[in-house]
Amino acid sequence: MVQPRVSMRKLREVLRLKFERGLSYRQIARSVGLAHSTVSEYVSRAERAGLAWPLAPELGDAALEARLYPGPPPRGTERPLPDWEAVRRELASHKGVTLQLLWLEYREAHPEGYGYSQFCDLYRRWREGLDVVLRQSYRAGEKCFVDYAGPTVEIVDSDTGEVREAVVFVGVLGASNYTFVDLTWSRSLPDWIGSHVRMLAFFGGVPEVIVPDNEKSGVGRASRYEPDLNPTYRELAVHYGITVIPARPHAPRDKAKVEAAVLAVERRVLAPLRHHTFFSLAEARSGLAPRLAALNDRPFQKIEGSRRSLFEALDRPALGPLPAAPYAYAEWRQARVSIDYHIQVRKHFYSVPYQLARQQVEVRMTATMVEVFCRGRRVALHVRSHRPGGYTTDPAHMPAAHRAHLEWSPSRLIAWGGEVGPETARFVERLLASRPHPEQGYRSCLGLMKLARSYPADRVEAACRRALEIGSLSYRSVQSILRSGVDRLPLEPELPLRLPGQHAHLRGPDYYRTPPQLRGD
C-alpha cells in the first residue's frame, strides 16, 4: 500500500474544500500547504473510490486510507500539450471565450489529453512565466485580507505608570474595502485568533477566503508554494467554514488590499489619536471605534459611495452566516504516551487508554478541557488541570491486570532497584507506594534508571539512602543529591535531646551557692 505523505486530517481538509467549498486545486494547495499535484491526486482518488461528501461518520482514518490507497497508483502516459500562445490569443481576442470552451476543443482534437483541471493549471503556470501583472478583481463576499500595522498604541497602567504597547490588527473586505481594527497585547496565537473572532462578529458574516500575511502565529511554515497553517488557525477556518490562503512571501501584490487599508488606518485612525492617553486596552479599543466608523463612512474620491455603503450593497448580502457560537480558542500539540499510559501537557499528566503506550498522539487544549486524538479519533477527554506535577487518571484507561498488559510492573521496578542495592530498592518501593496509582511513579523510576547509567551504583545507593532519610521521594531529589555531591558526605548523627538544666552553658542555681575560691572560674 502506498502511504500518503501527509496526515489524514489534511486529506480530509482537501476533500472538504473541494466538494463542500468548490475551490480550485491551486487555492486548496495554498490553504492546506500541499503541492497542487498532490491535491489533484487526492481528489482523483476520492472520485475513483466513489466517496461522497460529507464522509460517513464511521469512516475512520484507517478505513479512509484503505479506500484511497488500495494499491500502487497507475503509471502516467505522455499526453500532447496545447499551444498555450494560441490559447492566450483566443482568450484575449474574443469576448465570451473561456478556458472551458478551449479545453473542450482541445479534447476533441486529443481525446487522450489532459483533464480540465490540469489544463487550467498548466495554462496558469505558463502564463505566470510571462511575468504579466494582472489587476485583481474581487467578488462580493469572497476575500478578506488581514495583517498587523507597523505603529503601536501606548497604554499607561494607571496604578504603576508603566507604559505598554498594543499592536494593531487590521482586516479589510476585498470588494468594499470595509475595514476592521483591533488592539491586542501581542501577536501571539491566542491574540491572533481572538482578533479574527472579533473581526467576523464585526462584519456580521463570514467571507469565503481569508488572506493573511505569513504571520508566524497563523502560518507555521511560510512558503511561496506550500505554506503550512497552524492547527488552531485551521480549526478556526473549519469552524467558520472559510478557506485560509496565505499570501506568498515577497509578493506584495497578493496583499495590496490590506496594505492600503493599513496605511488608511495609520493616517485616519491612529495619527489623530497620537496625543491621547489610554489607561486600559478596553478604553483604547473604545477610543478607536469612532475614528474607525469615520474611516468607513468617508466618501471615496474617484467613485461614488463609501466603504460602508459598498459593504451594505455588496459584501454584507454575500457573506455567509455566522455559526451559532463563536470559535472557542484551542491549542494543538503532539505528545508521546509513556509506559504509564499518561501524556504530559503543560507540566500536568493525563491518562489515555493503556493500549496506546509509546504511541504519538495529538492533544487539543481549551481553557477548560483536554482532548487526546489518535489517528483522527478522540481517545480521551479530561477536565483541564493547572496543577504542576499532578495526575488526572481515568480508571477506564487502566488495564484490568497491569502485570498482564504492561511491560513494566511495580515488582519488576523494585527488582531492578535491588540490582543496584538495597537502598535503591527501598526507595523505589516507597516511591511507588506514595502514589495513588503505582503507575504514576513509573516516570520517576525511569529517571532513576537513567541516573544509574550515569553514576556509580554506590553513589546512587548513597543518594537514595539520603533521600529516604529526608523523606523526599522523587527523582528530582535523587538527581539533585548526585549533582551536588551531597551523597559523598556522611549523614549527620541525630543529636541527643538535652534538658535545659543539662546544657553546658547554663550554670544553674547551685553555682552561686559554691564559694568563689572553689568554683575554678
66-86: pLDDT as tens digits: 777 775 444 445 688 888 867
**Rounded-to-integer distance, Cα 315 and Cα 177, Å:** 9
pLDDT at 353 over 70: yes
pLDDT digits (tens, 9 = 90+) for 189-209: 889 999 999 999 999 999 999
Phi then psi for 407, rounded to 5 degrees?
-65, -40
Give the lowest-confidence range in 51-55, 251-255, 307-311, 417-421.
251-255
**Rounded-to-integer distance, Cα 84 and Cα 92, Å:** 12
Q: How many CB atoms lie within 10 A of CB 112?
A: 9
Q: How many CB atoms lie within 10 A of CB 352?
A: 23
pLDDT at 4 over 50: no
Tell the burial category of 251 from Cβ atoms under 10 Å away from its Cβ (0-12, 13-18, 19+).
exposed
| pLDDT number for residue 404 | 41
pLDDT at 177 over 60: yes
Tell me the range of 84-88, 213-217, 326-330 where mean pLDDT is highest.
Answer: 326-330
| pLDDT number for residue 137 | 54
Q: Give the pLDDT band (50/70/90) at residue 112.
A: confident
pLDDT digits (tens, 9 = 90+) for 123-156: 887 776 653 333 345 778 888 999 998 889 999 9
Residue type, 273: L
**Rounded-to-integer distance, Cα 440 and Cα 341, Å:** 9
Does domain 143-318 match CATH 3.30.420.10? yes
**Are 220 and 334 spatial neighbours (Cβ–Cβ below 8 Å)?**
no
**Rounded-to-integer distance, Cα 198 and Cα 187, Å:** 15
Go through 16-30 and write b for each residue having 16 or more CB atoms within 10 A of its CB, e for each that does not. bbbbeeebbbbbbbb
**Rounded-to-integer distance, Cα 196 and Cα 256, Å:** 19
Q: Which residues contact 447 (CB under 8 A, 6 or more apart)?
A: 475, 479
pTM metric for this prediction: 0.52
Give the lowest-confidence range in 26-40, 349-363, 397-411, 417-431.
397-411
pLDDT at 17 over 60: yes
**Rounded-to-integer distance, Cα 408 and Cα 340, Å:** 9
Write out the three cell numbers for 20.
463542500
Give the lowest-confidence range in 152-156, 404-408, 476-480.
404-408
**Are 188 and 201 spatial neighbours (Cβ–Cβ below 8 Å)?**
no
pLDDT at 250 over 80: no
Residue type, 460: V
| pLDDT number for residue 31 | 87
In Å, the largest CA–CA distance within the chain is 135
Q: Give the pLDDT band (50/70/90) at residue 35.
A: confident
Which of 127 and 386 is assigned the larger pLDDT?
386
| pLDDT number for residue 217 | 60
**What is the mean pLDDT of the segment spanning 270-297?**
91
| pLDDT number for residue 405 | 41
**Are 181 and 265 spatial neighbours (Cβ–Cβ below 8 Å)?**
yes
pLDDT at 218 over 70: no
**What is the mean pLDDT of the segment spanning 105-120?**
87
Helix 189-203 and helix 231-240: axis angle, to 10°?
20
Residue 238: name the closest of 74, 12, 47, 22 by CA. 12
| pLDDT number for residue 514 | 55
**What is the mean pLDDT of the segment spanning 458-472?**
90
**Rounded-to-integer distance, Cα 18 and Cα 32, Å:** 11
| pLDDT number for residue 361 | 92
> What percent of the chain clears pLDDT 70, i.e. is strictly above it?
80
| pLDDT number for residue 56 | 80
* DSSP secondary structure code for residue 493 in this structure: P
**What is the mean pLDDT of the segment spanning 149-170?**
89
pLDDT at 254 over 80: no
**Are 45 and 69 spatial neighbours (Cβ–Cβ below 8 Å)?**
yes
